[in-house]
Amino acid sequence: MNLTAKDKNTVRTFWAKISTNAEDIGTDFCLKIKSFFPPFFRMLVVYPQTKTYFSHWKDPSPSSAPVKKHGATVMAGVADAVAKIDDLRAGLLSLSELHAFTLRVDPANFKVLSHNILVVLAISFPNDFTPEVHVAMDKFLSAVDLCNYS
């Protein structure tokens, strides 16, 4: 699935609009939406099978340090992918190797996380998350997912 120039523009524009601070995108994004249960924690609740990858954490609640930290790491990764949208395969190479060869994450789980990111975007930015933005973000996240497992 290829991202068109229009898709990339839509993603960049939407991301710029929703990020308050270009340098601190990952953390800021999480701070802004923390009252809406960030995507990563939401995924652990709605899709309990994803918790199997984090059995080494004693406390999987939203207020626990590892969950908050990892949620911020994940969203910072997404922000980084936005910046590297013109060459995701090269830009996400090290993350790709980590998820595919070290963590060995079942590919279905990336789709699950992407879905939860979209749900949180809809909750947080109901007026900006139009169908047109939704399709561009969906295609973008699918491309990121593909990089992470292949």
Name the site residues for other proteins (rule: CB under 8 A).
35-37, 41-42, 45-46, 115, 118-120, 122-123, 126, 129, 131-132, 134-135, 138
Residue 41 CA to residue 75 CA, distance in Å, equals: 12
Which CB, 96 or 109, lies closer to other proteins? 109
Nearer to other proteins, 62 or 91 (CB): 62
- At position 28, the amino acid (one-letter code) is D
Q: Nearest distance from residue 101's CB to other proteins, in Å?
A: 30
> In angstroms, what is the minimal distance from the CB of 123 to other proteins?
5
Whose structure tokens read 């990952």? 26
Phi-psi region of 44 (alpha: psi -120 to 50; beta: other; left: phi over 0): alpha
Percentages of the chain per state (helix, strand, coil), in multiples of 5: 75, 0, 25
Minimum CB separation of residue 105 from other proteins in Å reads: 21
State in angstroms the smallest separation of the CB of 98 from other proteins.
26
Cβ 23 to other proteins shortest distance, Å: 27
C-alpha span between 68 and 89 (Å, rounded)? 27
Between 90 and 107, whose beta carbon lies closer to other proteins? 107
Q: Which residue number, 78 or 136, has a Cβ lying nearer to other proteins?
A: 136
* Residue (18 or 92) nearer to other proteins, CB: 18
Residues 137/12, Cβ–Cβ less than 8 Å: no
Instruction: With CA atoms as reference, report the closest residue to 150 among 104, 112, 118.
Output: 104
